[in-house]
Structure 1
Amino acid sequence: MATEPSQSDDLPDSETEWRERLTDEEYEILRNRGTEPKFSGEYLDVKEDGTFRCAGCGAELFDSDVKFDSGSGWPSFYDANADAVETETDTRHGMSRIEVVCRACGGHLGHVFDDGPEPTGKRYCINSVALDFDPEE
């Protein structure tokens, strides 16, 4: 995977510019750390080969070959492009979880858990709204 976001030179400088760039739903997820309802996401059942990108900036986050059906209701991946995502502790809602954030634009993507398949044992549980998908040609 490439590590450079496709639109990194064109990132908004303010939340007003983010509001203009993103849909209301994208803004809620990416900028306000929201969560889409279970089993509602556009990319939950995608089985095509391709690349999942950040809906905010275009950074290449996940390859389709690491996507799996976790049964959780959100697109799940067992590995991420380490140069494109970072994690932070999230203590909101009275629990401690590990939040997954786009390194390029700071957008909230979802959370990562230690109950995924081998070889990593990770389950990156990601909001479809935070993603765009580029199918392989």
Structure 2
Amino acid sequence: MRRILLAIFSILVLSCEGKAQDSKKAKTYPVSKTEAEWKAELSPAQFQVLRKKGTERAFSSKLNKIEEPGTFVCAACGNELYETKHKFDSGTGWPSFDRPISEKNVDYRPDRTGGYPATEVVCAQCGGHLGHVFNDGPKATTGKRHCINGVAMEFIPKAD
């Protein structure tokens, strides 16, 4: 009986380990390039943020001041991410939005690299690091603050 229980336990453990290993596999994205290709296409600052999960200096992005109607797209692949109508001044020094254009356009990942639990926001088309989402946004809307690196995006004004 002991051997049977041990065998069942072993099977369950191996089954769980296989699932854990599967969940650790990196997600593949529709736009996929080698590190050398990304490096050749992006500016050094864009590469550092989008591919190496860096953070630009607060208040350094020209996108902070944009208020005209338009769309913010991923600087790496052009995926539409945010609209000006959902942008707000959070006072943090990074472009902030209360929601993406569509939840299908961004992915979320747990992130503990800063020493505390956070939620990373990445582009759903290329996996580029955009920033983080926090629960301290405008209560009148979603309550979320997508704190996004300006260098990770480009702005496309709305055509008249």
Common fold, TM-score beyond 0.5?
Answer: yes
Q: Which residue of 2 aligns with 1:32?
A: 52
Q: Which residue of 2 aligns with 1:122?
A: 144
1:99 to 112, 115, 120: 120
Secondary structure of the structure 1 residue equivalent to 2:62: coil
| Structure 2: gaps (5+ residues) | 1-28
- Are 1:18 and 2:34 matched, yes or no? no
Q: 1:66, 1:127 → 2: CA distance? A: 16
Quote how far apart the aligned CAs of 1:12 are.
4.8
Equivalents in 2 of 1:12, 1:21: separation in Å?
A: 13
Give SS of 1:18's match: helix
Match of 2:88 among 68, 80, 84: 68
1:68–1:77 CA contact under 8 A, matched in 2: yes
CA RMSD of aligned residues (A): 1.3
Query: One-letter code of the match for 1:60?
Result: E
Deviation at 1:34, TM superposition (A): 0.3
CA distance in 2, matches of 1:13, 1:68: 33
Aligned structure 1 segments of 4 or more residues deviating by more than 4 angstroms: none
Gap regions ≥5 residues in structure 1: 1-7
Paired residue total: 129
Quote how far apart the aligned CAs of 1:93 are: 2.4
Please, what TM-score do these two structures have when normalized by structure 2?
0.78
Highest Rg: 1 or 2?
2
Seq. identity, %: 47
2:103 alignment partner, SS class = coil
Paired amino acid for 1:121: G
Residue of structure 2 in register with 1:50 after alignment? 70
Contact kept? 1:75, 1:126, Cα under 8 Å:
yes
SS at match of 2:77: coil
Structure with a larger share of its residues in helix: 2
Compare relative contact order (CA 8 Å, sep 6+) and give the higher one, 1 or 2. 1
